[in-house]
Amino acid sequence: MMLEITIDGLKSTELGYNTVWDAEMCKWASKYFVEGLELVGQRVKEKGIKCRLITDVNLENVCFLNTLPFLEIKHLDGLRGNFGIRDEMGYMAFILNKQNDESLQTYFSNSKTLAEQQMQIFEELWSMAIPFTTRKKELEYEDKPSTQRTIIDYENIEKEVESLILTCKKDLTIFSSNKILCHLLNRRNFLNYLPTIFQKEASIKILIEDVDEYLAKQISSMNESTRINPIQLGYTSKIGEINEMVMIFDNKHLLHVNYDSDNELVATYSNEEHKVLIQELMFEKYWNEVKSLGIINNNY
């Protein structure tokens, strides 16, 4: 039924499809709708229609979704229900039959009012969802057993920092010397990635040696755009020096950066629970000391 509707709809589709699938629907499509998706891919290539898909990307379906480069895909956790809008005028709802894995019920309506209402819902979900590339990075880290590895070469360290920041959801902690932090900022401003964490309302704490006007201005500008969880910035100038950078992501991932004997940056990544915990405790030690001295600024 869905294949027939797709074939018929593609003949008159001019703009494209906007679709929402939960994880079960995505699983169903990988088994029973491959032919229909191939037809959609042909239409995209021939007519340039635009097709967007929001789904719950997981380790089970990510390989299948990788075979659909003609779709613009985003991920959203915990999706329930399946629907699609064609050319912002036709609306379809899909219901899986739990008793028959292959069976699918499809409800279709050409009510423009209904399509417009559902399109508004789709756009809201789209704004909340994260890009497919970012979700794949998250899955890469989630799928790794306890591990530790060394990263050399500045470009590789940059890429690791970028990936970890983009996949961070709840908490980001940075404990760094001004020299290393400024080195990273000067080469590629990783603060550009912090707004993506802001959108997730994550907590961000940064502890550095001394006041850095450039960093302070950048953080002040970002904090002006949100009052939910402003970045907290502290200075250790009164309690000791720092000669490294430690970044902790979501209490799960640890990145330690320092200079080697040749004055080159080298990084170590670990997701081993005890190592992450030790660094968290060390950060809290310094953070509490700095806080007691009144050199934390929440509004910078």
Instruction: Indicate which CATH number applies to the domain containing 97.
Output: 3.30.870.10
Instruction: Give yes or no: residues 216 and 116 share one domain.
Output: no
Q: Is the dihedral of CA 182, 234, 160, 282 positive or negative?
A: positive
Half-sphere exposure of 64 toward its Cβ, with a 13 Å CA cutoff? 20
Residues 71 and 153 in one domain: no
Number of structural domains the chain divides into: 2
Domain boundary pick from 93, 110, 131: 131
Residue 276 lies in a domain: yes
Residue with tokens 């890469």: 140
As a residue count, the chain comes to: 300
At residue 5, the pLDDT reads 67
Helix (H) or strand (E) holding 270: strand 265-270
Beta bridge partners of 186: none
122 and 192 belong to one structural domain: no
In a domain, 139, yes or no: no
Q: What is the structure's pLDDT at 245?
A: 93
Task: Clarify whether residues 126 and 37 are in a common domain.
Answer: yes
Count of Cβ atoms closer than 10 Å to residue 177 Cβ: 20
Same-domain pairing of 289 and 148: yes
Q: Indicate whether 20 and 73 sit together in one domain.
A: yes
Residue 113 lies in a domain: yes
162 shares a domain with 127: no
Q: Classify residue 137: in a domain, yes or no.
A: no
Domain boundary among 131, 155, 189: 131
- Report residues of the chain scoring pLDDT below 70: 1-5, 7-8, 98-99, 186-190, 226-227, 238-240, 295-300
Q: Does residue 136 sit within a domain?
A: no
Which one of 68, 96, 131 terminates a domain?
A: 131
Provide the residue range defining the domain that includes 94: 2-131
Q: Are residues 174 and 278 in the same domain?
A: yes
pLDDT reported for residue 4:
67
Shared-domain flag, residues 169 and 286: yes
Round to whole Å and give the CA distance between 155 and 160. 9
Tell me, yes or no, whether 16 lies in a domain.
yes
One domain, residues 64 and 172: no
Burial class (CB in 10 A: 0-12, 13-18, 19+), 262: exposed
Residues 99 and 180 in one domain: no
Residues 175 and 127 grouped into a single domain:
no
The pLDDT of residue 300? 44
